[in-house]
Structure 1
Amino acid sequence: MKKIISILSTVILLTSCAEKSESVQANTAVEADAKKPNILLLVADDTAFGDIGAYGSEVHTPNMNEIANAGIRFTNFHVSPVCSVTRSMLFTGNDNIEVGLGSFDYSVYPATRGKKGYEGYLTKDAVTISELLNDDGYEVYKSGKWHLGGEESGGKGPLEWGFTKEFGILSGGSNHWNDLAMTPNFKDPNGLNVKRKENWTLNGEPYDRPEGVYSGEIYTNQMLEFIKEGAKNDKPWFAYMAFTTAHFPIQAPKGLIMKYYPKYLELGYAGLKKSRYESLKAQGLISHEATEAPFNNLTKKWQDLSQENKEKQAKIMATYAAMIEDQDNRIGQILDYLRESGQLDNTLVVYMTDNGPEGLEPTNPKTGNPEFAKWIENQFDSSFEAIGTANSQNVIGTSWANSATGGLQWWKWFVGEGGIRVPLMIVPPGAFNTDYVRAGEKSNVAVYVKDVPMTILEYANVKHPMTEYKDKKVIPPTGISMKPFLDGQFDVVRTDKDWWAFELFGNGYVMQGEFKAMKVRTGMFGDGQWHLYNVVSDPSESHPLEHKNPEKLKAMIALYESYIAKNNILAVDADWSAFKGASQ
């Protein structure tokens, strides 16, 4: 009898332990589900729709490809045609004109100076996601470029916008190897005869940037330091990794450059554009109905170049490709650390670029800047051997920028698809290590940069205050969260009735579903007329639809005009050139 009682006691004890164990496991699972996700926002600079491997490029980008295969690749994602304007929407979910970026700091239409909405830096008229995440207990990190204010032109730096730690530059770019600025001081009478230094900061204090360390390396290492230090606090984090690759000056690690040189020397401008167009089409990244973009008369023909110039141009493009490969290597560093430290599974990963490739060409009489060209000639080495080094100051120019976009037209500064359609890849928390139902999907649903911050907030379970923040009135955001789409609940992000409009330099467009109505001034090489396109079936904008569907165009113009009226957007003279108005 005693033996039976003993056995029964043991069984009861084991059962109780098992139940407790199951209870602990259940509670742990609930806690894990409730834990706030980390957020890794990776933003590339001046990188084309066709520039990375996951979007049909010949450039070696295995880590970006891993992101694409684990999550969703968006093929109909739009931003603004210039850096800071995109970033203002990325951090607020608002239209750029609502938060001070109706004007681009490197080129300002004179009549807009001092006008509301045209400050040229992020204003306090809205609240940023960095502030809201900070309020919710997140560590908030930024490494790389800022380009939203804090310089002489006004505005505030990252620490004034909710970031707990920051590193890098306030401006739009810099030399990739040292502390030199990427442009001269145009206001200094002697500015074209000297090189000037960029201001670097670490947590708001001046930082002595070492020479010879590449930008991708220095930015990534500092971001990893922030994340590692923050792990001690056991808080979720938001990491804004703002690369300056592949922004000019075109410079890259020597060992990565020459591997691409023979291919670009063989293909030339038209050959690369055709190759990328065919790759995008074959991989389903643009429609099977898409036609090749017509020749752009601002670009050059490869056969018209001398052999010496062909070799220089091929090396410049090879350096640009190397910049993108280096960025991929740095992303790999971050992903590897997160995987090894057990944080990747609870991290939302977003990769995007801020606009299309830079077509600035200082010596080009139509899209150049003679003062900038003179400074480059005076201060840098333009030889073949120097390309990619700290003492070079090259740009890819209009012809390579046009080629990089593959099946699209135009490039940075322009509202054609090549300037505003860019890569976006999102991996929800847990998707790297689970059977995510949408893993590897390529989607042509319409998405706008304003939708990214709203998605981040919803994954973080942070509610936007909409009209009032800390006893101050703010303009509510109009972005739409992509989370229901990413979670498989909806088939679209924006319905056919949802729309957005955009204006910069007097050029504008409005998007609704697959349709885009666009008008470009004569001063920016347009005809000043409205045109209608279906940019899903016709991404090269080669087949205007305004004569077939005049009522649709009329309705979309009315939407655009309501946007202009609501935001008091100023008209721009038809013949004004944003390039002639460009300055530091």
Structure 2
Amino acid sequence: MPDQFEDFQGQVGVTIDESEPWWPLLPEHEHGPRPNVLIILFDDMGFAHLNCYGSTIDTPNINRLADEGLRYSNFHVTPLCSPTRASLMTGRNHHAVGMRTIANFHDTGFTNMRASVSKHSATLAEMLQARGYATYMVGKWHLSPAEENGPAGPYENWPLQRGFDRYYGFLSGATDQFYPELTHDNHHILPPKSPEEGYHVTEDLVDNGISFLRDKQSHRPDQPFFMYFALGAVHEPHQSPPEYVEKYRGRFDAGWDEVRREWYERQLASGIIPPDTELADRNPGVKRWEDLSDNGKLFAARLFEAFAGFLDHTDAQLGRLLQHLEDSGLLDNTIVVLTSDNGASGMGGPMGMLSIVAGGNGISTNDGELMLRGPGRPPATEEAERLEAWQSRLGDIGGPRSWTDIPWGWAQVANTPLRWYKSDAHGGGVRVPLIVRWPERVPQGQIRDQFHYVTDIVPTVLDVLGESVPDSYKGLAQMPVHGKSMAYTFKDPDAESNKGVQYFEMWGHRAIWMDGWKAVTRHFRGRPYDEDDWELFNLAEDFSETNNLAGQEPERLQKMIHRWWIEAGRYNVLPLDDRTITGGPSQRPGNPHDGLHYRYYPPTAHLHGRVSPMLQLGDWKITAEVERESTDQEGVLFAHGSMAGGVSFYIQDNRLCLDFNSREDVTVGRSDSELPAGMTTVSATLASSADKSGVVTLFVDGEESGTIAIPDTSGIAVRGGADIGADHYSPTTGSYDAPFEFAGTIHVLDIRVTPKGTLPRPQTPREASESG
């Protein structure tokens, strides 16, 4: 009998009549009935955001999960998006798997920040897929280098290459809820309809998640599934259908001080925080509500109304998903896990944010100053002028013409009763809700207070499924899982936590939890690490981290700091890197911005934000070789950015046009002469000055045909990506009805960017190889 690479268990004779056929069982029949797994991950949802964790925002469907399952009050995550997602999917610490910070900050050249998950750390999807599960991912990925998110990949770090059978969502971080940059499986797609037609991304995600499940149930009903549903909510921009925003009109007029006190009292009454918990003081930089101007109060209240509407709308969409599972008879055989990637964000700054180019930049120093803007806030007169100007746009808040984020005061309300925000290692950044529902083993309506961490989700799921972590996956040795199963907490509310120690690190902010105590420090670039001030808290007695015992327990503090360094060495935390923004192109060889020269052969797919040409880095020249059968043919040649800022290069009324949108202030330019039919080469160049003004010059077949004075060249938004031959997403200008597809043919589009200043030079492949 010839060698066989299949474990054939039939009988092979000389003829078919002398042989016995055999077929391997399908996984669902080989392994028998197994529960499904649904992990729902919110984005930037603080400890107090959910109604069942204290808020007055309506979340009835999530409340039902809590009523029918367990709520955890001592669950922790990393301080930021991508790192938590990497740990959630692998059960390993985020530095160890190559995700020190968020993926769009590039591969820094060290193994703790490859901006992707190490192949030596299989994801839960890869593990369960190998055991016969159908695996689906819906929503925000944020686990691939941003510069790999283009239409040609490389795809190796996309969801389908990391264990998911199907994918529908967005690959990057924050997304416009009305104009998301969508990916379906391994290709980019346009949203199926416009905001005017009722589009919202959360509804679209749920529609496609249900569609995946319907297909499976229709064709392989016995196969268990794993679905990872990663919402865009409640990350900024806070956008939802208008009826949800209007529902909360006036509900928060009492202000953040009174609302925070109300939510705190609701938490005490529900038992989700211990009865002796103190409400932390206002974070530095948060004004007393009564000290805000009337315009400031109105603006801030409207921002939180938009946030509440966004969360309420998200709960309603999750209700549709859960209802489908119930109607299909699947809900009670599904382990449902719901949590958040980090605490509520303080990026809205002290005032809040109306659009991506108006406000925000809100990382707070220990003194309550704006880190990204240097010392001091906007002068009172500037702040008052902004607020006065924004009064005319209050109606835009929460809709497609806004990119809103809440101010620090409301962010701390969302993290009640805790201190600080997302990106911090204090409680406000890392303690989040966790709800687990599974009627077979999880009791109903109870609370658990054991300390646990995001790395514990994977070992918990594997534990209850009777599965183990493979020693190797696709020929690669696998690092051990760092988390521990939480399944013991299901039946024993009084059991001691099985976690002994857990470190935290983000941008130099550091903390360590050990045997119920926590040491923590906030760090900022430019300060030596050994000069950081560490605080010490006994979390068993100090839930909200308000009683600093560093002075009373110096030996314990030093012991914990020493242990932090041990954990840092063990889990690949070093080198410490306190850079928070890396806005230029990656230094990794082969990235799409090498040389800042881009050449496209349309038609091409949409260019996602960080893959699109980096016009914001300096001067540029855009050249298009077009062909028109008649002078009536018009449309967009190249559109970059969004309604918040960008550039549109187009033909209209047989004139070459360029509109320059700088922070929503649009300058419109037209060529002096009309264009000929047939083959034509059209160009536009930007020459900017030190005062940020500039001149755009238009060319037709090499001849100058007009100039456009640009008052401010610095306000091009980096969000929104770019399109060639149309303006498909958030329109850059109102000069046409988007998408205004070009009716002729674009043969080539060429863009060259000349940066202002010196950018880090990408390594050549040889240099990268020689440097190890």
- Per the alignment, residue 563 of structure 2 pairs with 559
Residue 407 (structure 2) aligned to one of 397, 412, 429: 397
Q: Distance in 2 between matches of 1:158 and 1:68?
A: 29
- Per the alignment, residue 357 of structure 2 pairs with none
Q: Distance in 1 between matches of 2:507 and 2:91?
A: 21
> Could you list the runs of 5+ residues in structure 2 that have no partner in the other structure?
1-28, 149-153, 349-359, 363-368, 379-385, 585-609, 611-772
Q: Which moved more, 1:385-394 or 1:506-515?
A: 506-515
Q: Which moved more, 1:355-364 or 1:91-100?
A: 355-364
Higher-helix-fraction structure:
1
User: For this pair of structures, how many residues does the alignment match?
Assistant: 513
8 A Cα contact 2:300 2:407, kept in partner: no
- Correspondence 1:202 to 2:184: yes
- Per the alignment, residue 211 of structure 1 pairs with 194
Once the two structures are superposed, residues 419-441 of structure 1 have per-residue CA deviations (whole angstroms, 9 ceiling, x without a partner) of 1000001012536xxxx5x3111
> Could you list the runs of 5+ residues in structure 1 that have no partner in the other structure?
1-30, 180-197
RMSD: 2.7
Distance 1:524 1:400, change over 3 A: farther
State the TM-score, normalizing by the size of structure 1.
0.82
Cα shift at 1:513 = 3.3
- Per the alignment, residue 437 of structure 2 pairs with 427
Please show how residues 504-515 of structure 1 align to structure 2 within 5 Å: 504-515=506-517
Once the two structures are superposed, residues 504-559 of structure 1 have per-residue CA deviations (whole angstroms, 9 ceiling, x without a partner) of 11111111232111122245999712221122431221101233333432332222
2:280 counterpart letter in structure 1: A
- Per the alignment, residue 117 of structure 1 pairs with 112
Q: Which moved more, 1:341-350 or 1:520-529?
A: 520-529
Partner of 2:344: helix, strand, or coil?
coil
- Per the alignment, residue 472 of structure 1 pairs with 476
Q: Distance in 1 between matches of 2:373 and 2:477?
A: 41
Q: Distance in 2 between matches of 1:76 and 1:166?
A: 32
Distance 1:477 1:336, change over 3 A: same
2:225 counterpart letter in structure 1: W
Partner of 1:300: helix, strand, or coil?
coil
- Per the alignment, residue 137 of structure 1 pairs with 132
Please show how residues 353-502 of structure 1 align to structure 2 within 5 Å: 353-361=340-348, 362=360, 364=362, 366-368=370-372, 383-430=393-440, 438-465=443-470, 467-488=471-492, 491-495=495-499, 498-502=500-504
Percent identical pairs in the alignment equals 29
Q: Distance in 2 between matches of 1:478 and 1:265?
A: 45
1:328 counterpart letter in structure 2: D
Q: Distance in 1 between matches of 2:30 and 2:72?
A: 29
- Per the alignment, residue 157 of structure 1 pairs with 158
Please show how residues 310-329 of structure 1 align to structure 2 within 5 Å: 310-329=297-316
Partner of 1:494: helix, strand, or coil?
coil
- Per the alignment, residue 604 of structure 2 pairs with none
8 A Cα contact 1:351 1:425, kept in partner: yes
Partner of 1:339: helix, strand, or coil?
helix
Q: Which moved more, 1:248-257 or 1:299-308?
A: 299-308
8 A Cα contact 1:506 1:571, kept in partner: no
Cα shift at 1:160 = 0.6
8 A Cα contact 1:258 1:315, kept in partner: no
1:104 counterpart letter in structure 2: I
- Per the alignment, residue 247 of structure 1 pairs with 235
Q: Distance in 1 between matches of 2:158 and 2:540?
A: 38
Q: Distance in 1 between matches of 2:268 and 2:560?
A: 28
Distance 1:203 1:150, change over 3 A: farther
2:43 counterpart letter in structure 1: D
- Per the alignment, residue 11 of structure 2 pairs with none
Partner of 1:537: helix, strand, or coil?
coil
- Correspondence 1:59 to 2:57: yes
Partner of 1:426: helix, strand, or coil?
strand
2:507 counterpart letter in structure 1: F
Q: Distance in 2 between matches of 1:310 and 1:214?
A: 28
- Correspondence 1:548 to 2:552: yes
- Per the alignment, residue 68 of structure 1 pairs with 66
Tell me which of the two structures has the higher relative contact order, counting C-alpha pairs closer than 8 angstroms and 6 or more residues apart: 1
Higher-strand-fraction structure:
2
Cα shift at 1:122 = 1.8
- Correspondence 1:47 to 2:33: no
2:298 counterpart letter in structure 1: E
8 A Cα contact 2:67 2:445, kept in partner: yes
- Per the alignment, residue 258 of structure 2 pairs with 271
8 A Cα contact 2:295 2:391, kept in partner: no
Residue 230 (structure 1) aligned to one of 216, 227, 251: 216
State the TM-score, normalizing by the size of structure 2.
0.63
Q: Distance in 2 between matches of 1:317 and 1:242?
A: 22
Distance 1:546 1:150, change over 3 A: closer
Cα shift at 1:561 = 1.1
Cα shift at 1:285 = 1.3
- Per the alignment, residue 88 of structure 1 pairs with 86
8 A Cα contact 1:347 1:430, kept in partner: no
Q: Distance in 1 between matches of 2:266 and 2:194?
A: 39
Q: Distance in 2 between matches of 1:405 and 1:45?
A: 14
- Correspondence 1:530 to 2:534: yes
Cα shift at 1:36 = 0.8
Once the two structures are superposed, residues 320-368 of structure 1 have per-residue CA deviations (whole angstroms, 9 ceiling, x without a partner) of 1111111211221112111111111111010101111111132556145
- Per the alignment, residue 330 of structure 2 pairs with 343
- Per the alignment, residue 174 of structure 2 pairs with 173
Once the two structures are superposed, residues 22-45 of structure 1 have per-residue CA deviations (whole angstroms, 9 ceiling, x without a partner) of xxxxxxxxx999511011111111
2:135 counterpart letter in structure 1: V
8 A Cα contact 1:344 1:430, kept in partner: no
8 A Cα contact 1:287 1:538, kept in partner: no
Q: Distance in 2 between matches of 1:539 and 1:400?
A: 20
Q: Distance in 1 between matches of 2:474 and 2:575?
A: 35
Q: Distance in 1 between matches of 2:372 and 2:298?
A: 22
Cα shift at 1:487 = 4.2
Q: Distance in 2 between matches of 1:481 and 1:214?
A: 37
Cα shift at 1:390 = 0.7
Q: Which moved more, 1:66-75 or 1:112-121?
A: 112-121
2:57 counterpart letter in structure 1: V
Partner of 1:265: helix, strand, or coil?
coil
8 A Cα contact 2:90 2:122, kept in partner: yes
Distance 1:145 1:404, change over 3 A: same
Partner of 2:95: helix, strand, or coil?
helix
Q: Distance in 1 between matches of 2:396 and 2:534?
A: 45
Distance 1:473 1:515, change over 3 A: same
8 A Cα contact 1:76 1:536, kept in partner: no
Q: Distance in 1 between matches of 2:112 and 2:35?
A: 34
8 A Cα contact 1:72 1:427, kept in partner: yes
